[in-house]
A and B are shown apart, each in its own frame.
Chain A
Amino acid sequence: GDSVTQMEGPVTLSEEAFLTINCTYTATGYPSLFWYVQYPGEGLQLLLKATKADDKGSNKGFEATYRKETTSFHLEKGSVQVSDSAVYFCALSETGGFKTIFGAGTRLFVKA
């Protein structure tokens, strides 16, 4: 079945460091890919999405590119802030599907 694998955390960075959180997926078709973020004490919220190969999703300085050849959707940010401390989930939804499959999540700590 479809699945999402993302790097284990926690990831600890200093403010203004470069962030990469790796995500790879397995799917039978051509899924849409997402990154969700969960800030402490809050619900999950969609951070960015990409619906087809080579699409780049971006939001709040975060970016991820849909790489079909490597089945990857890595999350990047050039300069993290303390306020980016959260848990990040990579997820997919099959084309025409009505279900979202989530990865296990990666906790990010950013130190001042």
Chain B
Amino acid sequence: AQSVTQPDIHITVSEGASLELRCNYSYGATPYLFWYVQSPGQGLQLLLKYFSGDTLVQGIKGFEAEFKRSQSSFNLRKPSVHWSDAAEYFCAVGRSGTASKLTFGTGTRLQVTL
């Protein structure tokens, strides 16, 4: 069965600093991978997704993620964090061929200090 691990429950970074949120997945075939962001009191917004092809994926709001099959990872990065990036971030994996029946990680809460 597929699973997702986000090892960091809570991360604090200073505004302007770089950010990397970790995501490790377990899935036997080629996974579909997603990062979602949830701002306080809001629903989930898709940041980016990986289906195939280039392993470095660009998303919205200046985020990117890199798929590394050898490490079963899909880490999210941003070179310079803004205070508005404070939110909870979820990594998710779907079965190859479809994003249906996503399995979500437990989330990483990002705090940004000024």
A, B bound: no
Residues of A within 8 A of B (CB): none
- Point out residues on B near A: beta carbons under 8 Å: none
